[in-house]
Chain A
Amino acid sequence: MGIITTSKSGRPVLWTSLVAVLLTGAIVAMYLAPTEQTMGDVQRVMYVHIAVAWLALLGFVAMAACGLAYLLSRNLWWDQWSMATCEIGWLCSTLTLVTGSLWAHAAWGTWWTWDPRLVSSFILWAFYSGNLILRSGLDDGPQRARLSAVLVIIGVADVPLVVMATRWFRGIHPVSPAMEPSMRYVLLASMVGLTAIMTLLLVRRRTQLQHESLVMQLQMQADEN
Protein backbone atom coordinates (compact mmCIF):
# COMPACT_ATOMS: atom_id res chain seq x y z
CA MET A 1 0.00 0.00 0.00
CA GLY A 2 2.95 2.27 0.34
CA ILE A 3 3.32 2.65 -3.41
CA ILE A 4 1.88 6.13 -3.62
CA THR A 5 3.33 8.99 -1.67
CA THR A 6 2.91 12.69 -2.19
CA SER A 7 6.38 14.15 -2.31
CA LYS A 8 5.56 17.31 -0.36
CA SER A 9 9.27 18.03 0.01
CA GLY A 10 9.56 18.20 -3.80
CA ARG A 11 6.78 20.75 -4.23
CA PRO A 12 8.67 23.93 -3.25
CA VAL A 13 11.49 22.92 -5.62
CA LEU A 14 8.99 22.45 -8.45
CA TRP A 15 7.24 25.75 -7.80
CA THR A 16 10.45 27.70 -7.30
CA SER A 17 11.96 26.39 -10.52
CA LEU A 18 8.73 27.04 -12.47
CA VAL A 19 8.46 30.62 -11.21
CA ALA A 20 12.21 31.25 -11.69
CA VAL A 21 12.23 30.02 -15.29
CA LEU A 22 9.07 31.93 -16.26
CA LEU A 23 10.22 35.14 -14.54
CA THR A 24 13.72 34.97 -16.01
CA GLY A 25 12.22 34.36 -19.46
CA ALA A 26 9.96 37.41 -19.15
CA ILE A 27 12.77 39.67 -17.90
CA VAL A 28 15.20 38.51 -20.58
CA ALA A 29 12.62 38.92 -23.37
CA MET A 30 11.55 42.35 -22.12
CA TYR A 31 14.87 43.98 -21.25
CA LEU A 32 17.79 42.03 -22.74
CA ALA A 33 16.45 41.34 -26.21
CA PRO A 34 16.82 44.31 -28.60
CA THR A 35 13.71 45.99 -29.99
CA GLU A 36 12.93 45.00 -33.57
CA GLN A 37 13.00 47.96 -35.97
CA THR A 38 9.78 47.51 -37.97
CA MET A 39 7.44 45.78 -35.51
CA GLY A 40 8.80 47.23 -32.27
CA ASP A 41 7.86 45.59 -28.97
CA VAL A 42 5.16 43.43 -30.58
CA GLN A 43 7.94 41.23 -31.99
CA ARG A 44 8.77 40.10 -28.41
CA VAL A 45 5.68 37.87 -28.54
CA MET A 46 7.76 35.63 -30.83
CA TYR A 47 9.89 34.50 -27.87
CA VAL A 48 6.80 32.89 -26.37
CA HIS A 49 4.93 32.00 -29.56
CA ILE A 50 7.77 30.09 -31.26
CA ALA A 51 8.65 28.27 -28.02
CA VAL A 52 5.10 26.96 -27.43
CA ALA A 53 4.64 26.16 -31.14
CA TRP A 54 7.83 24.06 -31.07
CA LEU A 55 6.51 22.19 -28.01
CA ALA A 56 3.13 21.58 -29.64
CA LEU A 57 4.81 20.04 -32.69
CA LEU A 58 7.34 18.06 -30.66
CA GLY A 59 4.51 16.84 -28.41
CA PHE A 60 2.53 15.51 -31.35
CA VAL A 61 5.53 13.66 -32.81
CA ALA A 62 6.30 12.19 -29.37
CA MET A 63 2.65 11.19 -28.95
CA ALA A 64 2.65 9.45 -32.37
CA ALA A 65 5.87 7.63 -31.44
CA CYS A 66 4.22 6.44 -28.19
CA GLY A 67 1.14 5.37 -30.16
CA LEU A 68 3.24 3.38 -32.60
CA ALA A 69 5.22 1.83 -29.74
CA TYR A 70 1.92 0.82 -28.10
CA LEU A 71 0.57 -0.78 -31.28
CA LEU A 72 3.79 -2.77 -31.65
CA SER A 73 4.21 -3.83 -28.03
CA ARG A 74 0.62 -3.63 -26.62
CA ASN A 75 2.16 -2.30 -23.43
CA LEU A 76 -0.10 0.25 -21.67
CA TRP A 77 3.00 1.96 -20.28
CA TRP A 78 3.29 3.68 -23.71
CA ASP A 79 -0.33 4.73 -23.55
CA GLN A 80 0.27 6.52 -20.25
CA TRP A 81 3.08 8.53 -21.86
CA SER A 82 0.83 9.24 -24.85
CA MET A 83 -1.97 10.52 -22.58
CA ALA A 84 0.37 12.78 -20.57
CA THR A 85 1.93 14.12 -23.78
CA CYS A 86 -1.51 14.79 -25.24
CA GLU A 87 -2.51 17.00 -22.30
CA ILE A 88 0.71 19.03 -22.33
CA GLY A 89 0.68 19.22 -26.15
CA TRP A 90 -2.92 20.45 -26.18
CA LEU A 91 -1.97 23.18 -23.71
CA CYS A 92 0.97 24.26 -25.91
CA SER A 93 -1.12 24.06 -29.08
CA THR A 94 -3.79 26.27 -27.49
CA LEU A 95 -1.13 28.72 -26.35
CA THR A 96 0.30 28.79 -29.90
CA LEU A 97 -3.08 29.86 -31.28
CA VAL A 98 -3.67 32.39 -28.48
CA THR A 99 -0.22 34.05 -28.65
CA GLY A 100 -0.32 33.95 -32.47
CA SER A 101 -3.70 35.67 -32.43
CA LEU A 102 -2.41 38.37 -30.08
CA TRP A 103 0.54 38.99 -32.39
CA ALA A 104 -1.65 38.91 -35.53
CA HIS A 105 -4.01 41.48 -34.07
CA ALA A 106 -1.12 43.85 -33.42
CA ALA A 107 0.78 43.15 -36.67
CA TRP A 108 -1.97 42.41 -39.23
CA GLY A 109 -4.95 44.09 -37.56
CA THR A 110 -6.94 40.85 -37.34
CA TRP A 111 -7.20 38.05 -34.75
CA TRP A 112 -7.53 35.34 -37.41
CA THR A 113 -7.01 34.89 -41.13
CA TRP A 114 -7.22 31.80 -43.35
CA ASP A 115 -3.47 31.54 -43.82
CA PRO A 116 -2.11 28.00 -44.53
CA ARG A 117 0.13 28.06 -41.43
CA LEU A 118 -2.76 29.15 -39.22
CA VAL A 119 -5.16 26.60 -40.68
CA SER A 120 -2.69 23.71 -40.37
CA SER A 121 -1.95 24.78 -36.77
CA PHE A 122 -5.67 24.81 -36.05
CA ILE A 123 -5.98 21.29 -37.52
CA LEU A 124 -3.19 20.15 -35.16
CA TRP A 125 -5.12 21.66 -32.24
CA ALA A 126 -8.28 19.88 -33.46
CA PHE A 127 -6.40 16.54 -33.50
CA TYR A 128 -5.18 17.14 -29.96
CA SER A 129 -8.72 18.06 -28.85
CA GLY A 130 -10.21 15.08 -30.70
CA ASN A 131 -7.79 12.73 -28.98
CA LEU A 132 -8.69 14.14 -25.55
CA ILE A 133 -12.42 13.82 -26.31
CA LEU A 134 -11.95 10.25 -27.59
CA ARG A 135 -10.03 9.31 -24.44
CA SER A 136 -12.60 10.86 -22.11
CA GLY A 137 -15.39 8.96 -23.86
CA LEU A 138 -13.88 5.48 -23.51
CA ASP A 139 -12.97 3.31 -20.51
CA ASP A 140 -9.33 2.89 -19.56
CA GLY A 141 -7.90 -0.08 -21.42
CA PRO A 142 -6.53 -1.56 -24.65
CA GLN A 143 -9.43 -0.37 -26.86
CA ARG A 144 -8.94 3.26 -25.85
CA ALA A 145 -5.18 2.98 -26.28
CA ARG A 146 -5.54 1.40 -29.74
CA LEU A 147 -8.05 3.95 -31.09
CA SER A 148 -6.07 6.85 -29.69
CA ALA A 149 -2.84 5.51 -31.23
CA VAL A 150 -4.48 5.18 -34.66
CA LEU A 151 -5.92 8.72 -34.48
CA VAL A 152 -2.58 10.19 -33.48
CA ILE A 153 -0.66 8.33 -36.20
CA ILE A 154 -3.09 9.72 -38.79
CA GLY A 155 -2.79 13.21 -37.27
CA VAL A 156 0.99 13.29 -37.30
CA ALA A 157 0.79 13.84 -41.09
CA ASP A 158 -0.24 17.41 -40.23
CA VAL A 159 3.10 18.16 -38.51
CA PRO A 160 5.17 18.55 -41.73
CA LEU A 161 2.31 20.62 -43.17
CA VAL A 162 2.53 23.05 -40.22
CA VAL A 163 6.32 23.27 -40.51
CA MET A 164 6.43 23.69 -44.29
CA ALA A 165 3.15 25.63 -44.80
CA THR A 166 4.93 28.97 -45.20
CA ARG A 167 7.25 27.51 -47.88
CA TRP A 168 4.81 25.27 -49.76
CA PHE A 169 1.80 27.62 -49.89
CA ARG A 170 1.39 31.31 -50.37
CA GLY A 171 0.32 33.13 -47.23
CA ILE A 172 1.02 36.10 -44.99
CA HIS A 173 2.66 34.28 -42.07
CA PRO A 174 6.40 35.15 -41.84
CA VAL A 175 8.57 32.35 -43.28
CA SER A 176 11.59 32.49 -41.03
CA PRO A 177 12.19 36.01 -39.78
CA ALA A 178 15.79 37.23 -39.83
CA MET A 179 17.05 37.78 -36.30
CA GLU A 180 20.09 39.32 -34.68
CA PRO A 181 22.29 36.84 -32.77
CA SER A 182 21.19 38.32 -29.42
CA MET A 183 17.54 37.76 -30.40
CA ARG A 184 18.35 34.16 -31.33
CA TYR A 185 19.93 33.57 -27.91
CA VAL A 186 16.85 34.93 -26.14
CA LEU A 187 14.61 32.75 -28.29
CA LEU A 188 16.78 29.72 -27.59
CA ALA A 189 16.73 30.44 -23.83
CA SER A 190 12.96 30.79 -23.93
CA MET A 191 12.60 27.49 -25.82
CA VAL A 192 14.92 25.65 -23.43
CA GLY A 193 13.15 27.12 -20.36
CA LEU A 194 9.64 26.28 -21.53
CA THR A 195 10.73 22.82 -22.72
CA ALA A 196 12.15 22.14 -19.23
CA ILE A 197 8.91 23.28 -17.54
CA MET A 198 6.71 21.19 -19.81
CA THR A 199 8.96 18.13 -19.46
CA LEU A 200 8.71 18.44 -15.67
CA LEU A 201 4.91 18.64 -15.87
CA LEU A 202 4.84 15.74 -18.35
CA VAL A 203 6.87 13.45 -16.08
CA ARG A 204 4.72 14.32 -13.05
CA ARG A 205 1.50 13.69 -14.96
CA ARG A 206 2.79 10.35 -16.29
CA THR A 207 3.67 9.26 -12.75
CA GLN A 208 0.20 10.30 -11.62
CA LEU A 209 -1.43 8.28 -14.42
CA GLN A 210 0.63 5.24 -13.38
CA HIS A 211 -0.57 5.67 -9.77
CA GLU A 212 -4.18 6.07 -10.91
CA SER A 213 -3.88 2.82 -12.82
CA LEU A 214 -2.42 1.03 -9.77
CA VAL A 215 -5.19 2.33 -7.50
CA MET A 216 -7.78 1.12 -10.01
CA GLN A 217 -6.20 -2.35 -10.00
CA LEU A 218 -6.18 -2.41 -6.18
CA GLN A 219 -9.83 -1.36 -6.14
CA MET A 220 -10.73 -4.21 -8.50
CA GLN A 221 -8.80 -6.70 -6.35
CA ALA A 222 -10.59 -5.45 -3.22
CA ASP A 223 -13.97 -5.79 -4.98
CA GLU A 224 -13.15 -9.38 -5.95
CA ASN A 225 -12.24 -10.27 -2.35
Chain B
Amino acid sequence: MGTFMMAYLAVWLAVVFYVGRLGVRQHRLQRTLHTLQERIQRDADQRESLAKSA
Protein backbone atom coordinates (compact mmCIF):
# COMPACT_ATOMS: atom_id res chain seq x y z
CA MET B 1 0.00 0.00 0.00
CA GLY B 2 3.02 2.29 0.55
CA THR B 3 3.78 2.56 -3.18
CA PHE B 4 0.17 3.46 -3.94
CA MET B 5 0.17 6.10 -1.19
CA MET B 6 3.35 7.62 -2.61
CA ALA B 7 1.83 7.73 -6.11
CA TYR B 8 -1.34 9.38 -4.80
CA LEU B 9 0.69 11.83 -2.74
CA ALA B 10 2.58 12.81 -5.90
CA VAL B 11 -0.72 13.64 -7.63
CA TRP B 12 -1.93 15.60 -4.57
CA LEU B 13 1.29 17.59 -4.38
CA ALA B 14 1.20 18.33 -8.11
CA VAL B 15 -2.39 19.62 -7.94
CA VAL B 16 -1.68 21.70 -4.81
CA PHE B 17 1.47 23.10 -6.42
CA TYR B 18 -0.39 24.06 -9.58
CA VAL B 19 -3.34 25.63 -7.75
CA GLY B 20 -0.87 27.57 -5.58
CA ARG B 21 0.93 28.79 -8.69
CA LEU B 22 -2.39 29.87 -10.20
CA GLY B 23 -3.12 31.81 -7.01
CA VAL B 24 0.26 33.57 -7.03
CA ARG B 25 -0.17 34.57 -10.68
CA GLN B 26 -3.69 35.83 -10.02
CA HIS B 27 -2.45 37.92 -7.08
CA ARG B 28 0.32 39.39 -9.25
CA LEU B 29 -2.19 40.16 -12.00
CA GLN B 30 -4.50 41.94 -9.56
CA ARG B 31 -1.59 44.01 -8.24
CA THR B 32 -0.53 45.03 -11.77
CA LEU B 33 -4.09 45.96 -12.63
CA HIS B 34 -4.44 48.03 -9.44
CA THR B 35 -1.20 49.93 -10.19
CA LEU B 36 -2.38 50.52 -13.74
CA GLN B 37 -5.76 51.75 -12.54
CA GLU B 38 -4.09 54.22 -10.15
CA ARG B 39 -1.81 55.45 -12.91
CA ILE B 40 -4.65 56.02 -15.37
CA GLN B 41 -6.66 57.84 -12.67
CA ARG B 42 -3.65 60.05 -11.79
CA ASP B 43 -3.08 60.91 -15.46
CA ALA B 44 -6.77 61.77 -15.89
CA ASP B 45 -6.71 64.00 -12.79
CA GLN B 46 -3.59 65.77 -14.03
CA ARG B 47 -5.17 66.38 -17.43
CA GLU B 48 -8.31 67.71 -15.77
CA SER B 49 -6.41 70.12 -13.52
CA LEU B 50 -4.35 71.33 -16.47
CA ALA B 51 -7.52 71.94 -18.47
CA LYS B 52 -9.05 73.87 -15.55
CA SER B 53 -5.99 76.04 -15.05
CA ALA B 54 -5.85 76.81 -18.75
Contact = CB atoms under 8 A, between A and B. Distances in A.
B15 A18 contact: yes
Interface residues of A, number: 42
A30 interface: yes
Given A18-B15, A42-B3, A205-B22, A48 B33 contact: no
Contact of A208 (B1, B6, B22): B22
**Contact-size category for B:** 20 to 34
A105 B4 CA distance: 12
Interface in B1-54: 1, 3-4, 6-8, 10-12, 14-15, 18-19, 22, 25-26, 29-30, 32-33, 36-37, 39-40, 43
Interface stretch (A93-101, A120-128, A135-143): A93-101
16 contacts: A1-B33, A4-B30, A14-B19, A25-B8, A44-B4, A45-B3, A45-B7, A87-B18, A95-B10, A98-B10, A99-B7, A106-B3, A205-B22, A208-B29, A211-B29, A219-B36
Interface of A: 1, 4, 6, 14-15, 18, 22, 25-26, 29-30, 41-42, 44-45, 48-49, 52, 87-88, 91, 94-95, 98-99, 102-103, 105-106, 194, 197, 201, 204-205, 208, 211-212, 215, 218-219, 222, 225
Interface of B: 1, 3-4, 6-8, 10-12, 14-15, 18-19, 22, 25-26, 29-30, 32-33, 36-37, 39-40, 43
Given A95-B11, A222-B43, 17 more contacts: A4-B33, A18-B15, A22-B11, A25-B8, A29-B4, A41-B4, A45-B7, A48-B4, A48-B10, A48-B11, A102-B7, A194-B11, A201-B18, A201-B19, A205-B22, A218-B36, A219-B32
